[in-house]
Amino acid sequence: MDRVSKFGRGNESNFKKDEITIYEDERMKLYFVRHGETEWNTQRRFQGRKNSPLTEKGEQQTKNIAEVLRNIPFTRLYSSSLERARKTAQEIQKGRGIPLEIMDEFIEISMGELEGKTKSDFAELYPEEYEKYLHASLDYNPQAFRGETFEEIQARLRKGMNDLVRKHEEEDVILVVSHGMTLQILFTDLRHGNLERLREEKLPENTEVRVVEYRDQKFIIQSV
């Protein structure tokens, strides 16, 4: 069932090619992909704005998702500036003859001084804020460790989505390679228009694909 966002306007890399729908009508399509698995993903460390290399599995995931999306006629390709997202996007870019552009409205949440640390480290160092983070409380305040609030991410994502609509035509098919927490916040906002149900939204798996259509001045989440 389509879900329409309230601010104006669910698939992994081992899918078979025929499991990704190719939309042929002239409506803007946005394909969101999370980057391939990294070393810190396997160690369950907060990555944030720091770079952690793709694992061997992550490298294979990027090749798999590039093959899954091979027949999608992308007209524009975007990625965050972080290496794990760029490498994933560059694999999808191969053979297409169109440039990869950086769009850091879709960069990962900043965890400040906690980047590279585990949830256990977070709980030990900042127990009160850890509980708020864990339950996605809107009272979460990462100022003590120079992180980014959920609302700050929501604001830059709304700007990014509106910029995509403003810059492109109705017939454009757009790829955005982004990050887990960022996409969790984006899709919560698209479904509900707020972040109160953030933890109900599934965190995307590495190289999972989610598709959004823009029509009648609304963003509509598509089944993939």
Per-chain mean pLDDT for the chain: 90
pLDDT at 148: 98
Percentage of the chain exceeding pLDDT 90:
85
Mean pLDDT, residues 194-204: 96
With respect to residue 197, please indicate whether it lies within any of the assigned structural domains: yes
Q: SS3 sequence, 49-74?
A: CCCCCECHHHHHHHHHHHHHCCCCCC
Confidence tier at 27 by pLDDT (50, 70, 90)? confident
pLDDT at 1: 37
* Residue 108 bears catalytic tag: yes
pLDDT tens string 90-142: 999 999 999 999 999 999 999 999 999 999 999 999 999 999 999 998 899 99
Instruction: State which residues form the domain around 96.
Output: 3-111+150-222
With respect to residue 139, please indicate whether it lies within any of the assigned structural domains: no
* Residue 135 bears catalytic tag: no
For 191, the 3-state DSSP assignment is helix
H helix runs in the chain, sequence order? 39-42, 56-68, 83-93, 119-125, 127-134, 150-167, 180-192
With respect to residue 195, please indicate whether it lies within any of the assigned structural domains: yes
Confidence tier at 5 by pLDDT (50, 70, 90)? low
pLDDT tens string 57-100: 999 999 999 999 999 999 999 999 999 999 999 999 999 999 99
User: What is the pTM assigned to this prediction?
Assistant: 0.89
Please count the structural domains in the chain.
Answer: 1
Helix (H) or strand (E) holding 174: strand 173-178
Confidence tier at 15 by pLDDT (50, 70, 90)? very low
With respect to residue 10, please indicate whether it lies within any of the assigned structural domains: yes
List the catalytic residue out of 91, 108, 201, 208. 108
With respect to residue 80, please indicate whether it lies within any of the assigned structural domains: yes
Distance CA 31, CA 178 (A): 10
pLDDT at 25: 55
With respect to residue 87, please indicate whether it lies within any of the assigned structural domains: yes
With respect to residue 191, please indicate whether it lies within any of the assigned structural domains: yes
List the catalytic residue out of 35, 129, 148, 213. 35
Q: What is the CATH number of the domain that holds 179?
A: 3.40.50.1240
With respect to residue 123, please indicate whether it lies within any of the assigned structural domains: no
